[in-house]
Amino acid sequence: MRPRLLARLASDLEKRRQAHALRQHLTHSEISARHVVCDGRRLLNFSSNDYLGLSHHPRVLAAARQAIDAGVGAGASHLITGHHHHHQALQEALADWQQRDAAVLFSTGYMANLGVIQTLCGRHDLLLQDRLNHASLIDAAALSGSRLRRYRHHDVEHLRALLSEHSNKAALIASDGVFSMDGDVAPVESLARLAKEQGATLMLDDAHGIGVLGAQGRGAAEQLSQQDCPVLMGTLGKAFGTFGAFVTGSQGLIEGLTQFARSHIYTTAPPPAWAAATLTALALIRGDDELRQQLHANIQQLRNALNGHAQAQLMPSQTAIQPLLLGDNARTLAVSQRLEEAGFRVAAIRPPTVPEGSARLRITLSAAHQEQDIKALVAALDQALAA
Ligand SMILES: *Cc1c(COP(=O)(O)O)cnc(C)c1O
């Protein structure tokens, strides 16, 4: 008998429910880097990727308002009539900031990763990825049809061995810059060295590093030149506080993506007013170190407060992502729910987003948090973990 697709889906859902791994859309009436309002309750938000609080920065809002008359929709894809001068100005400013030849916009980071890997890699190529890379990089492998080999987290020697097995194949090494569920930074210099030595191409997805790390917020790979890291992808929905993504590199790379990246070509360009707001967010990221310093002071405050805590060991991270590893799905969910009752939103991250047995509270910090917010979180964590 022919299997019924919706019946199979219902059974998959039931399994996930039993594993305490069901997720849901929570509806908010207010969302900012510091607070969310959910069911009429105001919670301190420790689950946002708005690391600098730019989504509500007065200058970013003003830029969006001023540009809104350019249209709330682009009306077409970039290659038809959707590419506004705000998009062009943003591409040029992103490339200039990253000291690259050129940049191209994508509607989301997910789509940027699909577009890059589908453009560069084909069936006969080798695609090497850190085992903890973001889902969008993994999905891109399937779309490109290339042979995906995953190396152990941070293990450059494992990567070398995998590369050596196929020295005659074209190879792309793709890694998160800052790992999204762990907060640690990839060994970018070793990756660049190995790529050069092996004739492979290095791609970094620095969704969580840009805006947060490096001079002018250039990210986890600020010390790598265009030659060292020829494909650099960044997202604009995190520290930038807006939406979307870019890829930056040589003229040849960007021209190639413009011609061949299907997720850039066959989709509507983002709204022009969004590009104008993002350009202002970039000016703040480049020019204003104060927000970044505040974020790093907040990170240090949390780490110091939990240093030596019996039940709350933060994973080793110096970025805005400060996960607390608990392991068990049900316990992680229970602690997250207790925090919610106490007025804090801290996401419980469970498999399949992270490996089995490594469920965690993913605490994220923002420059928008105040000293008393972090103190209150630490006190609430104490209670929630003891209960
Ligand atoms: C968030 C994220 C993406 C996806 O970016 P979106 O713009 O949200 O689609 C890609 N890669 C990494 C590492 C991410 O953390």
Note the pLDDT tens digit of each residue in 109-165: 999 999 999 999 999 999 999 999 999 999 999 999 999 999 999 999 999 999 999
* Whether the Cβ atoms of residue 248 and residue 218 lie closer than 8 Å to each other: no
Write out the two tokens for 3.
Answer: 């299997």
Residue-level length of the chain: 387
Name residues contacting ligand 1 (CB within 6 A): 108-110, 113, 134, 136, 176, 180, 205, 207-208, 235, 237, 245
pLDDT tens-digit readout, 304-356: 999 888 888 899 999 999 999 999 999 999 999 999 999 999 999 998 889 99
Q: Assign residue 223 a region (left: φ > 0; alpha: ψ between -120 and 50; beta: otherwise).
A: alpha
Q: How many helices (H) and strands (E) does the chain have?
A: 13, 14
pLDDT at 310: 81
CA of 382 to the centre of ligand 1 (A): 31
Write out the two tokens for 304.
Answer: 């110091």
CA-based R_g, the chain, Å: 21
Of the candidates 360, 376, 291, 301, the one whose C-alpha atom is nearest the C-alpha of residue 325 is 360
d(CA 85, CA 67): 11
d(CA 110, CA 340): 29
Q: Which of 48, 106, 107, 110 to probe ligand 1 with, by most ligand atoms within 8 A of CB?
A: 110
pLDDT at 378: 96
pLDDT at 145: 94
DSSP state of 55: G
269 Cβ contact list (under 8 Å, min separation 6): 74, 76, 77, 78, 82, 83, 84, 87, 105, 107
Q: Which of 205, 212, 242 to probe ligand 1 with, by most ligand atoms within 8 A of CB?
A: 205
d(CA 347, CA 175): 24
pTM of the model: 0.96
Give the side-chain half-sphere CA count within 13 A for 30.
13
pLDDT at 21: 75
Q: Which of 111, 180, 278, 364 to probe ligand 1 with, by most ligand atoms within 8 A of CB?
A: 180
Write out the two tokens for 261.
Answer: 């990246």
CA of 134 to the centre of ligand 1 (A): 7
**In which residue ranges of the chain is pLDDT below 70?**
none
Write out the two tokens for 88.
Answer: 């062009």
pLDDT at 288: 85
